[in-house]
Amino acid sequence: MAKEETVETQGTVVDILPSAMFKVQIESWDKPVIAYLNGRMKQNNIKVLLGDQVLLEFSPYDLTRGRITRRL
């Protein structure tokens, strides 16, 4: 089975939540979304701080939860 296409966008971290979760505000959206770190960022111990610009990846089925794939 083929992997589904993902939606990528940029955002800014506005809040840090427990369990390596973050609230990220995307410029063109009204409400912030919940995002979590991908496995490579956890494995390499890459820190994401408040105010950081990040690259998000969403499933086309659920645009309320995203995966942080890169810190810009």
Residue pLDDT, tens place only, 26-71: 999 999 999 999 999 999 999 999 999 999 999 989 999 999 999 9
The C-alpha atoms of residue 23 and residue 29 are separated, in whole angstroms, by 13
Residue 69 host element (H or E): strand 62-71
pLDDT of residue 50: 97
pLDDT at 2: 53
Residue ranges per domain, the chain?
7-71
User: Which CATH topology does 7-71 take?
Assistant: OB fold (Dihydrolipoamide Acetyltransferase, E2P) (2.40.50)
pTM of structure: 0.88
